[in-house]
């Protein structure tokens, strides 16, 4: 009886220790209070008054009112919760955070904007995170929210498989499909009002990264199917589909203890919504030999690149300088004022007087060039920002 009681006691203690270990979660609350102010020397879409996006520059004279406007905002302020929990299958990590930068139907507003809702356990990851095609580590040390137009930046809901994770990293993902469409000079034709998108396959993305003492190099790829169905009753049938694809080669190179080079090159077709600032994935092309449908949708090719230098002057001061661009090969039936070429450049001086606090001034410039109406325009902005970052760890 004593032996049985001792065995039972040991079993209960062991079960209690295992249960306690599994419930020992670590919580980290993170956030930042950030205020941006500055001066827009030229006009830009008022929904994006505090960032510079070439696609949001006017496509014709005085489209967005007046030049020369002051702005203030706190839309980069954010709050997040990270957790880490031991399980029998390894460490379960989660990340949930949001900022106040309204996009989509909330463009221009200071409102809830989801950044992360993502969990990872061993080789499995799921939730809302940066897509595998993009490389957020290629974002320069900038205080401007949107950043270089020629780099790939896109968050998405996804399922990840991560067979390698370390100095060599390999990940594959199925991501929520989606695309945009530009109906060009035919945008008002009644036949196209009945064309609806169809996404019956997820986007497939993958990345492979090699990390060494000199920095890292990464190659990412994406394949997708974009389909649209003409649901109208008129004789012309504008249904169709295309396959999009892309490659992204990126790297961080440690030039010295104080200097870091950031570079990225993107090439592909029909992957515009993977990019940080690009127009539509699909354009309209004339097809005079087709009696049933004299126009067709085509995947628009693109090329983008980014080159930046991050430099640390000393413990308190740092700077960046760099240039980025994206170019679209337009289809022949797009409207003359369709977006063709976007350019972005910036430089700054940041000051960090003590831990977790940063202030700085940044000069930004962008340029837009249209398809074939001869229109080109630029904008310049000076931005001054103050940011306080906080983090608190709590163990359960």
Question: Could you report the per-residue pLDDT of 204-261, keeping only the tens digit for each?
Answer: 999 999 999 999 999 999 999 999 898 877 777 888 899 999 999 999 999 999 999 9
CA distance 229 to 194: 8
Query: For residues 48 and 62, what is the distance between their CA atoms, to the nearest angstrom?
Result: 16
Contact 260, 252 (CB under 8 A): yes
Domain spanning 27-395, CATH class: mainly beta
**Cα–Cα distance measured from residue 283 to residue 296, given in angstroms and rounded to the nearest whole number:** 8
Specify the 3-state DSSP secondary structure of 365. Answer: strand
- Other beta carbons within 10 angstroms of residue 106's beta carbon come to 14
Among 365, 366, 364, smallest CA distance to 384 is for 364
- Asked whether 266 and 131 are in contact (CB, 8 A), the reply is no
* pLDDT tens-digit readout, 76-112: 999 999 999 999 999 999 999 999 999 988 999 999 9
Rounded to an integer, the average pLDDT of 160-178 is 96
Condensed to tens digits (0 to 9), the pLDDT of residues 107-155 reads: 999 999 999 999 999 999 999 999 999 999 999 999 999 999 999 999 9
pLDDT tens track for 30-44: 999 999 999 999 999
DSSP3 helix / strand / coil % (the chain, rounded to 5) = 10, 55, 35
- Residues 292-301: b if buried by 16+ CB within 10 A, e if exposed: ebebbbbbbb
Average pLDDT score, the chain: 91
- The confidence score (pLDDT) of residue 13 equals 37
Residues 267 and 303 sit within 8 Å (Cβ to Cβ): yes
Domain boundary assignment for the chain: 27-395
Asked if 281 and 300 touch (Cβ cutoff 8 Å), the reply is: yes
Please say if the pLDDT value at position 366 is more than 50. yes
Answer whether residue 312 shows pLDDT above 90. yes
């Amino acid at each position: 009886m004593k032996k049985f009681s001792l065995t039972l006691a040991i079993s209960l203690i062991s079960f209690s220790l295992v249960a306690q270990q599994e419930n020992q979660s670590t919580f980290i609350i993170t956030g930042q209070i950030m205020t941006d102010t500055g001066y827009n020397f030229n006009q830009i879409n008022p929904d994006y008054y505090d960032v510079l996006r070439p696609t949001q520059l006017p496509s014709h004279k005085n489209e967005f009112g007046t030049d020369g406007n002051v702005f203030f905002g706190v839309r980069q302020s954010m709050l997040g919760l990270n957790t880490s929990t031991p399980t029998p299958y390894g460490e379960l990590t989660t990340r949930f955070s949001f900022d106040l930068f309204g996009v989509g139907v909330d463009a221009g507003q200071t409102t809830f904007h989801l950044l992360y809702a993502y969990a990872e356990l061993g080789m499995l990851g799921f939730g809302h995170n940066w897509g595998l095609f993009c490389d957020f580590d290629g974002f320069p040390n900038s205080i401007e929210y949107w950043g270089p137009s020629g780099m790939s930046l896109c968050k998405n809901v996804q399922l990840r498989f991560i067979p390698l994770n370390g100095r060599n990293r390999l990940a594959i993902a199925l991501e929520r499909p989606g695309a945009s469409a530009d109906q060009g000079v035919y945008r008002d034709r009644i036949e196209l009002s009945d064309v609806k998108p169809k996404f019956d396959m997820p986007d497939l993305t993958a990345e492979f990264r090699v990390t060494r003492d000199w920095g890292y190099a990464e190659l990412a790829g994406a394949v997708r199917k974009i389909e649209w169905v003409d649901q109208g009753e008129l004789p012309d049938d504008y249904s169709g589909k295309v396959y999009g694809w892309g490659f992204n080669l990126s790297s961080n190179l440690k030039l010295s203890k104080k200097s870091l080079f950031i570079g990225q090159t993107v090439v592909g077709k029909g992957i515009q919504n993977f990019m940080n600032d690009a127009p539509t994935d699909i354009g309209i092309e004339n097809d005079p030999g087709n009696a049933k449908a004299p126009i067709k949708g085509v995947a628009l090719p693109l090329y983008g690149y980014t080159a930046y230098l991050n430099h640390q002057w000393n413990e308190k001061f740092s700077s960046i300088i760099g240039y980025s661009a994206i170019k679209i090969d337009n289809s022949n039936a797009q409207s003359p004022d369709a977006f063709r070429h976007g350019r972005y450049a910036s430089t700054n001086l940041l000051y960090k007087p003590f831990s977790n606090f940063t202030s700085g001034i940044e000069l930004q410039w962008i340029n837009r060039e249209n398809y074939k109406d001869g229109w080109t325009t630029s904008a310049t902005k000076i931005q001054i920002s103050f940011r306080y970052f906080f983090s608190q760890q709590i163990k359960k």
